[in-house]
Amino acid sequence: MKMKFTKMHGCGNDYVYVDCMDRMLPNPGKISEFVSRRRFGIGSDGLICICPSDKADFRMRMFNADASEGKMCGNGSRCIAKYVYDKGLTRKDTITLETLGGIKTIHMTVEQGKVVLAEVDMGQAVVRTADVPMDWPEETCVDQPVVFAGPDGKGFTVRGTAVSMGNPHFVTFVEDVETAPVEAVGRIIETSPVFPERTNVEFVQIVDENHVKFRVWERGSGETWACGTGACAVGYTCVTLGKAGKRGEFLKVEAKGGMLQVRTGEGDAMTLKGPATTVYEGEIELPEELLEESLK
Ligand X SMILES: N[C@H](CCC[C@H](N)C(=O)O)C(=O)O
Residue closer to ligand X by CB (options 66, 156) is 66
Return the residues of window 152-211 that contact ligand X according to CB under 6 A: 167, 200
Among 51-59, 105-113, 214-222, 259-267, the segment contacting ligand X (CB under 6 A): 214-222
Q: Which of 27, 32, 44, 64 binds ligand X (CB under 6 A)?
A: 64
User: Smallest distance, Å, CB 155 to ligand X?
Assistant: 25
# of chain residues touching ligand X (CB under 6 A):
17
Torsion of CA 78, 79, 82, 88, to 10 degrees: -120
Per-residue H/E/C for 44-113: CCEEEEEECCCCCCEEEEEEECCCCEECCCHHHHHHHHHHHHHCCCCCCCEEEEEECCEEEEEEEEEECC
Among 106-114, 138-146, 227-235, 247-255, the segment contacting ligand X (CB under 6 A): 227-235
Residue 210 counted as an annotated binding residue: no
Angle among Cα 105, 106, 109 to the nearest 5 degrees reads 155
Q: Which of 28, 123, 160, 220 binds ligand X (CB under 6 A)?
A: 220
11 is catalytic: no
Q: Which of 160, 186, 228, 274 binds ligand X (CB under 6 A)?
A: 228
Catalytic residue among 73, 79, 141, 232: 73
* Helical segments of 112-215, H only: 182-191
165 near 270, Cβ under 8 Å? Answer: yes
244 near 47, Cβ under 8 Å? Answer: no
Q: Is 296 in a helix, a strand, or coil?
A: coil
Residue closer to ligand X by CB (options 66, 291) is 66
Q: Which of 13, 36, 99, 161 binds ligand X (CB under 6 A)?
A: 13
Q: Which of 164, 221, 237, 240 binds ligand X (CB under 6 A)?
A: 221
Strand positions, DSSP E, the chain: 2-10, 13-19, 46-51, 58-64, 69-70, 94-99, 102-111, 114-124, 144-149, 155-164, 168-173, 200-208, 211-218, 222-224, 250-255, 258-264, 269-275, 277-285
Contact flags string 24-63 toward ligand X, x per CB under 6 A: ----------------------------------------
What is the spatial distance between Cα 183 and Cα 180, in angstroms, rounded to a whole number? Answer: 9
238 is catalytic: no
Contact flags string 67-106 toward ligand X, x per CB under 6 A: ---x--xxxx------------------------------
Q: Which residues bind ligand X (CB under 6 A)?
A: 13, 64, 70, 73-76, 167, 200, 218-221, 224, 227-229
Enumerate the active-site residues. 73, 227
